[in-house]
Amino acid sequence: MTAKLTLSAAVLSVLAGTAGAQSIENKEAPGVPLETHSEETGLPYFAPGRGVVDHDAIRRRVLEVFDRQFGAFVTETQALTDVAKAYCGGTADEAAFKQQFHDTWMAWAPLDSYQFGPIESQGAALTVNFWPDKKNFVGRALRDLLKRPAEEQSDPAVVASLSVGAQGLPAIEMLTYTDGVETCPAVIGVAGNLHRIAVELHDGWFAEGGWADLARAAGPDNPVYLEPSEFTKVVYTALDFGLTRIADTRLGRPLGTYERSNPTQAEAWRSGLSNDIIVAQLKGIEDVVRFGFAGDIAENNRSWIYTVFEQTEGRVDSIGMPISEAVADPMSRIRVEGLQSKVHYLQSEMDQEIGPNLGVETGFSAADGD
């Protein structure tokens, strides 16, 4: 261990005993916290923006955020499966099922930004959320599912063998919010399949030999990350993609043109969850900035970007109705356009306030070439 590391460990050891401090377990050196944060602010005591970016520390913090976020999707899909069984069995009401469906989609929303690693390799972006659905693949896939015997409809393994249109959240939404469609028992099978996907995604990141281990082993022999800064760049690019996805797809598609809006091209328009999904994705991006990147971002940049996040989320609330309805009303449409402009502004501020602090720029993302 170098003298610098020894000194850092000693300082951290002292700070670990400070009142109101929170420390992160150090698996490589048990008993020596990796970082110590103020319980009140959640920020590290060490002053960031010190001119040297600690990409190893960024990786540790980002992986903790990812573990929470992917873990939440595992938890919510398990709850959805349980509530679906209870609902179809008559021991839970429709309101309880719809609420859990909402909670499950909100747990997925932050993950939608991370279309690299296990989400990319497992094709989960399509199986979990097949959208935009320009040719009604979800409807056609569900017709095939609903033709099957009840025991097959409720079997996650059968659902997993079908078209991706029948496997995810839009399929459950169509089953639940379309008049004349039998919700049960198909939602049991789709929910169970979603839970399988959620577990495989979490394992893809955090099981032994998973993507997290790949990120930790950055170096010249690593097939993906030749140096620690490359993981930072990929994550930063994913956040930029998430903002592009909100502005250009979640808002741009239903906005259409002034002469012709497209209300039914809003995500989750049947259930009216479009606005909540955007807020959940924004909060997921903010969590990575706040708890993953913050220790290496200067305080003035950090404070400003939090303000812009808050302003952007406030623009969603100010719309006052589901986006699918707002784009069809001339006065409310202005608020949706204002939100789109604000998301673009947030994206620009991220480029100016966050990227330079981290020493990275955006690279190739899932939005390129679409």
The predicted pLDDT at position 41 comes to 42
The predicted pLDDT at position 75 comes to 98
The predicted pLDDT at position 13 comes to 36
The predicted pLDDT at position 362 comes to 79
How far is residue 339's CA from residue 316's CA, in Å, rounded to a whole number?
A: 7
Residue ranges, CATH 1.20.1420.20, the chain: 55-212
Backbone angles phi, psi at 124, to 5 degrees: -70, -25
The predicted pLDDT at position 43 comes to 47
Radius of gyration of the chain (CA): 22
- Burial grade of 62 (CB within 10 A; 0-12, 13-18, 19 or more): buried
**CA-angle at 222, arms to 25 and 34, nearest 5°:** 15
The predicted pLDDT at position 4 comes to 30
Enter the tokens of residue 246. 């909100």
Q: Is residue 57 a contact partner of residue 34, using CB atoms and an 8 Å limit?
A: yes
How far is residue 339's CA from residue 347's CA, in Å, rounded to a whole number?
A: 12
The predicted pLDDT at position 364 comes to 54
How far is residue 110's CA from residue 278's CA, in Å, rounded to a whole number?
A: 9
Mark out the alpha helices in 225-329 (DSSP H runs): 228-244, 252-255, 274-287, 299-319, 323-326
Q: Is residue 89 a contact partner of residue 68, using CB atoms and an 8 Å limit?
A: no
Q: Which helix (H) or strand (E) holds 37?
A: strand 36-38
Q: Dihedral angle at the C-alpha atoms of 336, 338, 340, 342, nearest 10 degrees?
A: -140
Q: Which of 199, 137, 198, 135 is closest to 164 using CA atoms?
A: 137
The predicted pLDDT at position 97 comes to 98
The predicted pLDDT at position 294 comes to 87
Q: Is residue 332 a contact partner of residue 321, using CB atoms and an 8 Å limit?
A: yes
User: Which residues of the chain have a pLDDT value below 70?
Assistant: 1-51, 363-370
Give residue 368's Cα distance to chain centre: 19
The predicted pLDDT at position 133 comes to 95
Topology of domain 55-212, CATH:
A middle domain of Talin 1 (1.20.1420)
